[in-house]
């Protein structure tokens, strides 16, 4: 066995690993057998690649329950496309959860500094981690939202955000408000009422068990942002402007077709395995992980009162030991977790962990087992009770 095979991988929030075997095979065979460029010409290889892109898009539309799905190279680029293309103006109020990733916060902060948008943080209870929806209604009436940016699942706490409820309140109070959901951690596994969601950003390499280099936007309504990038699309080539309609408006440049080949295979695997089976496995591992960590003395676990509010991710810290030291010590025993602020600075302010260097994040995936969690427990014990 190589050391990679022996590793207990509990960093699935960074990227799911391993991938289903079919993903590796599909990517390998793409370049060996038909590495043509989709939508660029009618030669047999280009047509085969275009067929693969179309089939994958159709599977994504079904899996995400969205009428239109675009491709982008990463969730970060897709999030920037929506935020920078939303035509926000000075004074527009954008509400965020306290759990947003920097790939949402940094574009918003840029718009705040450059154009004077206002950023407001939605009220969540510090103990129960629940969103105070009654207070939200009052806030929205006082300052109607131009946009909501909502992490679907916190990448630090695993907290599931009541996205549908928030989008509904926003649309009731201001029908033209835009709801963006950052679905990097959960897209497709947790279904949304897509008729309320203007844009859901999904990531191929995380909850969809596909490769790096492929992500995108699922549009649930008629709303569309301005494109972020402009360039060749293989369509309407006589015009030097971007196509007005359709997915190619958001897909300048050659697609990452090898990644799409991998995603195609992972979507087939997801369909065969079944959403419910994957969610159930994650729920059972998350419960075990929460119990195991909560039973260790000197360990602080960042859990809501209602365990049903979290999925897949649990953060903890240990009294008087820096999270980075725990990560290094676990790494030395071949256990992969991630310590620090996880690109989500406001989440760590919310749980008051910034000054102590953040938390240790444990995140499970479909290929983890109960044994992995028990192994983690015994190694944490050996590290902290010396």
Rg (CA), the chain: 21
Residue 204 Cβ vs ligand PMP, minimum distance, rounded to whole Å: 9
Residue 84 Cβ vs ligand PMP, minimum distance, rounded to whole Å: 15
Residue 363 Cβ vs ligand PMP, minimum distance, rounded to whole Å: 10
Residue 104 Cβ vs ligand PMP, minimum distance, rounded to whole Å: 7
Buried/exposed code over 93-127 (b: 16+ C-beta within 10 A; e: otherwise): bbbbbbbbbbbbbbbbeebbeeeebebeebbbeee
Specify the residue, 186 or 318, whose C-beta has the smaller distance to ligand PMP.
Answer: 186
User: Could you tell me how far CA 37 lies from the centroid of its own chain?
Assistant: 28
* Rounded CA separation 342/325 (Å): 15
Residue 184 Cβ vs ligand PMP, minimum distance, rounded to whole Å: 3
Write the binding mask 168 to 207 for ligand PMP: x where contact by CB under 6 A, - elsewhere.
--------------x-xx-----------------x----
* Rounded CA separation 11/22 (Å): 21
Write the binding mask 57 to 96 for ligand PMP: x where contact by CB under 6 A, - elsewhere.
-----------------xxx--------------------
- Range 338-367, binding ligand PMP (CB under 6 A): 343
Specify the residue, 103 or 315, whose C-beta has the smaller distance to ligand PMP.
Answer: 103
Are the C-beta atoms of 216 and 200 separated by less than 8 Å? no
* Rounded CA separation 181/150 (Å): 5
- Range 123-162, binding ligand PMP (CB under 6 A): 151, 155
> Considering the rule CB under 6 A, would residue 256 count as an interface residue with ligand PMP?
no
* Rounded CA separation 330/311 (Å): 22
- E strand residue ranges, 319-358: 335-336, 338-340
Residue 11 Cβ vs ligand PMP, minimum distance, rounded to whole Å: 11
**Among positive and negative, which fits the CA dihedral 217, 223, 225, 229?**
positive
The DSSP call for residue 308 is G
Exactly one of 12, 80, 81, 103 binds ligand PMP (CB under 6 A); that residue is: 103
Contact residues for ligand PMP (CB under 6 A)?
74-76, 101, 103, 151, 155, 182, 184-185, 203, 343
């Amino acid at each position: 066995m190589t050391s990679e095979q022996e590793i207990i991988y509990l960093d699935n929030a960074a990227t799911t690993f391993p991938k289903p075997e079919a993903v590796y095979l599909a990517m390998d065979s793409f370049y060996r057998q038909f590495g043509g460029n989709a939508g660029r010409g009618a030669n047999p290889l280009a047509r085969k690649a275009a067929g693969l892109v179309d089939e994958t898009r159709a599977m994504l539309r079904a899996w995400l329950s969205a009428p239109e799905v675009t491709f982008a190279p990463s969730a970060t680029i897709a999030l920037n496309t929506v935020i920078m293309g939303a035509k926000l103006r000075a004074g527009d109020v954008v509400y965020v959860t306290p759990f947003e990733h920097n790939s949402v916060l940094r574009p918003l902060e840029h718009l705040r500094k450059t154009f004077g948008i206002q950023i407001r943080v939605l009220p969540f209870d510090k103990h129960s981690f629940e969103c105070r929806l009654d207070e939200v209604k009052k806030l929205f009436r006082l300052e109607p939202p131009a946009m909501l940016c909502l992490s679907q699942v916190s990448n630090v706490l695993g907290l599931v955000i009541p996205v549908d409820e928030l989008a509904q309140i926003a649309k009731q109070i201001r029908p033209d408000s835009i709801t963006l959901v950052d679905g990097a951690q959960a897209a497709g596994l947790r279904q949304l009422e897509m008729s309320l969601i203007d844009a859901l950003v999904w990531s191929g390499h995380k909850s969809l068990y596909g490769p790096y280099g492929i992500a995108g936007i699922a549009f649930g309504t008629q709303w569309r942002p301005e494109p972020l990038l402009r360039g060749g699309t293989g369509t309407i080539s006589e015009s030097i402007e971007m196509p007005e309609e359709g997915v190619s408006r958001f897909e300048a440049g050659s697609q990452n077709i090898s990644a799409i080949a991998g995603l195609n295979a992972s979507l087939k695997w997801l369909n065969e395995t079944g959403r419910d089976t994957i969610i159930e496995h994650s729920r059972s591992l998350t419960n075990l992980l929460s119990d195991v960590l909560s039973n260790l003395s000197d360990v602080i676990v960042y859990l809501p009162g209602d365990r049903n509010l979290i999925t897949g991710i649990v953060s903890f810290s240990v009294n008087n030991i820096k999270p980075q030291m725990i990560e290094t010590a676990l790494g030395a025993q071949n256990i992969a977790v991630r310590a620090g602020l996880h690109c989500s600075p406001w989440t760590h302010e919310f749980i008051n962990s910034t000054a102590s260097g953040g938390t240790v994040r444990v995140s499970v995936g479909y290929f983890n087992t109960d044994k992995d969690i028990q192994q983690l427990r015994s190694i944490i014990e050996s590290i902290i009770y010396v």
